[in-house]
Amino acid sequence: MSDNSRHDLDHGPIRKCQACGFDGLELVIDLGHQPPCDSLLTPAQLDEAENTYPLRFLRCPNCSLAQIDYAVAPEVLFYADYPYRSGITSTLAHNLRSTGFKAIEKFLLNPGDLAVDIGSNDGTLLSAFKEKGMRVLGVEPTNIANIANENGIPTIQRFFTQEVSRQVREEHGLASVVTAANMFAHVEKLGSLISGVESLLADGGIFITESHYLLDLLETVQYDSIYHEHLKYYSLKSLIRVFSEYNFTITDVDRIENYGGSIRVYAVKGRNLPISETVTRLLAEEERKGLYTSAPFKVFAERVRKSKFDLQQLLFNAKANGKTVVGVGCPGRSSTLVNYCGIDVDVMPIIAEQSSSLKLGLRLPGKHIPIVDEKLMFEEQPDYALILSWHYWRPIVKNLRAKGLKSKIIIPLPDVRVME
């Protein structure tokens, strides 16, 4: 059994690197105290106090992991009515399913093999394995587990722990593949998670994780993907560092477009296994781009500040000239952007979401902007529409125009620009 204590965090301030334990973390940018980005408020909650926590972005000069330095309790972040549902965005659903199909092809998985998805949300990823005749099991802490179960994807409503791992092993046998798409950067007890996966997998089994990729985050100025749920921002080098302490070898890596740029990493159970050249090539690129030095982080911080000032100037001028502004889309990251840039209801009175969204009627944390059905926006035709899911701006803008939106469109990042 691997010793995983170092990779298990407690709530509160984080003093040392979450991957290597180095205690000389360097501050890249301070985004201020912010509320948890998915803690949308009901109108009744506006009469209560709202908690905020530090949101600072730091880098480790030793192992290159970027990270925040405060862990909010997971029960606060991933409460039972957590509103995020992966199947709802069609691009995302497609990408999640392709993770399953790719794994089957790459590792010759067979019908009847067991696939387990951790943080399985509504079961979208597992549906791909199921379609190919594999046995599937989801582990999901929020009530979205009910939607998965209703859709025929068996799902345990729990956080994944060593105990859950043991329970699954006893009831279903060893897994051929375990996936963790976009939750690997969220998890507080990372050591327990990896050890739990290690004991759930058969020898030669694969653990596939997907995380935001640090290089994409820096190059496209995605500071809005920095929020409390994301404790870590991985380089490939730092992921290798983490897995080196367990019975795994990272044998392969894909860069994928999810969430504005992610890496999908294949860790095979066993040590010192043959490594694909995708791994050596990406490590060389990280090195070449200076990802192990402070230089790209300094450029990033400057660009973040500039984008903030440019956006403020644009919006405040628009308001001063009597123009109307509406936000479009309300992903978790919109909270970081809106709160960091100080955009309040006086500037942007509503955020429009599609009619099927579970967020309608709620308020954005911090600035308390009401989230409304997008029909209202199409009726009102505001002067400006600020795209908050800007990392998917192409299909979104196309869709908005097709539905008849005439507003000028603002893309806030990586540099602020306005489309007529």
Binding site for Zn ion (CB under 5 A): 17, 19-20, 22, 60, 62-63, 65
Report, in Å, the least distance between residue 119 CB and Zn ion: 24
C-beta contacts of 136-144 below 8 A and 24+ residues apart: 137/168, 137/172, 139/164, 139/168, 141/74, 141/78, 141/80, 142/78, 142/79, 142/80, 142/81, 142/82, 143/80, 143/81, 143/82, 144/82, 144/84, 144/85
Is residue 111 helix, strand or coil?
Answer: coil
Report, in Å, the least distance between residue 25 CB and Zn ion: 8
- Taking the least distance from each CB to Zn ion, the nearer of 14 and 388 is 14
Contact (CB, 8 A) for 57 and 66: yes
Report, in Å, the least distance between residue 260 CB and Zn ion: 24
- Taking the least distance from each CB to Zn ion, the nearer of 66 and 337 is 66
Q: What is the DSSP letter of 418?
A: E
| N-to-C CA span, the chain | 59
- Taking the least distance from each CB to Zn ion, the nearer of 239 and 348 is 239
- Taking the least distance from each CB to Zn ion, the nearer of 22 and 84 is 22
Can you tell me the distance from the alpha carbon of 42 to that of 331, in angstroms, rounded to the nearest whole number? Answer: 17
Can you tell me the distance from the alpha carbon of 225 to that of 207, in angstroms, rounded to the nearest whole number? Answer: 24
Query: What does residue 327 show for φ and ψ, rounded to 5 degrees?
Result: -85, 150
- Taking the least distance from each CB to Zn ion, the nearer of 17 and 187 is 17
Contact (CB, 8 A) for 156 and 145: yes
Tokens of 13: 């301030």
- Taking the least distance from each CB to Zn ion, the nearer of 59 and 85 is 59
Report, in Å, the least distance between residue 244 CB and Zn ion: 12
The residue written with tokens 């781009």 in the block is 289
- Taking the least distance from each CB to Zn ion, the nearer of 240 and 328 is 240
Report, in Å, the least distance between residue 65 CB and Zn ion: 5
Report, in Å, the least distance between residue 8 CB and Zn ion: 16
Report, in Å, the least distance between residue 415 CB and Zn ion: 31
Can you tell me the distance from the alpha carbon of 146 to that of 140, in angstroms, rounded to the nearest whole number? Answer: 10
Three-point CA angle 402, 403, 405, nearest 5°: 95
Can you tell me the distance from the alpha carbon of 406 to that of 403, in angstroms, rounded to the nearest whole number? Answer: 9
Report, in Å, the least distance between residue 69 CB and Zn ion: 12
- Taking the least distance from each CB to Zn ion, the nearer of 6 and 11 is 6
